[in-house]
Amino acid sequence: MSIRPRYDVAVVGEIYVDHVFSGFPVWPQPGEEVVTDAYVREMGGGAAATACGLAKLGRAVTLVGLVGSDDHDWFARGLARYGVAVDGLAIGDGATGTTISVSTADDRSFFTHVGVNRQVGALATGAGLAILAQARHVHFAMPLARDVADAVLPPLAAAGIRTSLDMGYQPAWLADPANLPTLRAIDHLMPNEKEAELLCGHADPVAYFVHATAIGLRHPMLKLGARGAAALEGDRIVTTAPPAVIAVDATGAGDAFDAGFIDALLDDASPLQRLQRGCITGALSTRRPGALAAIPDRNELRSIHDRTY
Ligand SMILES: Nc1ncnc2c1ncn2[C@@H]1O[C@H](COP(=O)(O)OP(=O)(O)OP(=O)(O)O)[C@@H](O)[C@H]1O
Ligand SMILES: [Mg+2]
């Protein structure tokens, strides 16, 4: 007997509240104060951004992650506005992951408290696993610890659920040979250029694909920033450039790319088409500050696709 999956995608990983301060004329010296009227508080973290991106494309999405008790209702309302289910949004023991982003016209700095995101591995192997198992595809937006991977990936594979991983810029995780079985077990690893270089030791995409094949990655691809993205299709490298945009802020472009790429996977699209869809959602997300404000809906995705490719 097969049960119809409840969700197209379950996204599991880190959730942050982002406090974004901008418009400062100068950087303060230690002990000084500077003031701005330009401030927004928004949902952040790769898991929240990719989940919202997929929901905006019309997919049935649930987000498995943790926030602090004070912020739970704010996140539940915010996610519901995008149409993301919150049955997997747990209250952790401590404060919500928090990032303070401060920018002048030329520079930006981040201050981060990881907070209850440290408990996401325990959530994924505990109460969260039953929710992950209700999806067609599970996307991990976190450095997937070895013990968590061991507990979670085999049951998902046995249920025929496809997986993807965007661990983010995690030099220690990428350099640790203990994570090699995880890299091999994931269906779609989604590194950017810097992460691919940490994995293979070379900055060159061709070298990455040679290395990725040698270590047994299933469907090698990589994101190339403003240059687009590349993937292996059989033994050929296919590449795609993003549509033309006026990029004002690339924060979260990688997470938005992941949403488009996974959306294409759900349609069993070809490697080239996955890259195209990822490049559209990634590039369009750069049009406005923040990760979420400018991600496209399904209609915009279609019209940009037809105009570009
Ligand atoms: N400046 C840009 N102009 C146009 N498209 C962009 C730009 N930056 C990123 N993109 C699009 O977003 C995709 C993902 O960007 P990138 O390779 O920077 O991912 P990332 O480094 O994982 O991002 P993040 O910093 O969010 O983790 C690219 O493949 C591209 O399609
Ligand atoms: Mg990234």
User: For residue 283, how far is its CA from the centre of ligand 1 (angstroms)?
Assistant: 7
Q: What distance in angstroms lies between residue 306's CA and the mean position of ligand 2's atoms? A: 26
* Enclosing H/E stretch for 8: strand 7-13
How confident is the model over 85-135, as pLDDT tens digits?
A: 999 999 999 999 999 999 888 888 999 999 999 999 999 999 999 999 999
With a pLDDT cut of 70, the percent of the chain lying above it is: 99
Counting atoms of ligand 1 from 1, which one is nearest the CA of 241?
31
The number of helices, as runs of H, and strands, as runs of E, in the chain is: 12, 14
Both tokens of 167, joined, read 């661990």
- Delimit the domains of the chain by residue range: 15-26+36-135
Residues 294-302 have a mean pLDDT of 96
Ligand 1, closest atom to CA 224? Answer: 17
Please list every protein residue whose CB sits less than 6 Å from any atom of ligand 1.
192, 223-226, 228-229, 242, 245, 247, 250, 252-255, 257, 279, 282-283, 286
CB 188 within 8 A of CB 268: no
Query: What type of residue is 304?
Result: I
pTM for this prediction: 0.96
Please tell me the predicted confidence (pLDDT) of residue 4: 78
Options 3.60.20.10, 3.40.50.720, 3.30.110.30, 3.40.1190.20; which CATH number does 15-26+36-135 get? Answer: 3.40.1190.20
* Surrounding residues of ion ligand 2, Cβ less than 5 A: 192, 254
Q: What is the pLDDT of residues 141-180, one digit of tens each?
A: 999 999 999 999 999 999 999 999 999 999 999 999 999 9
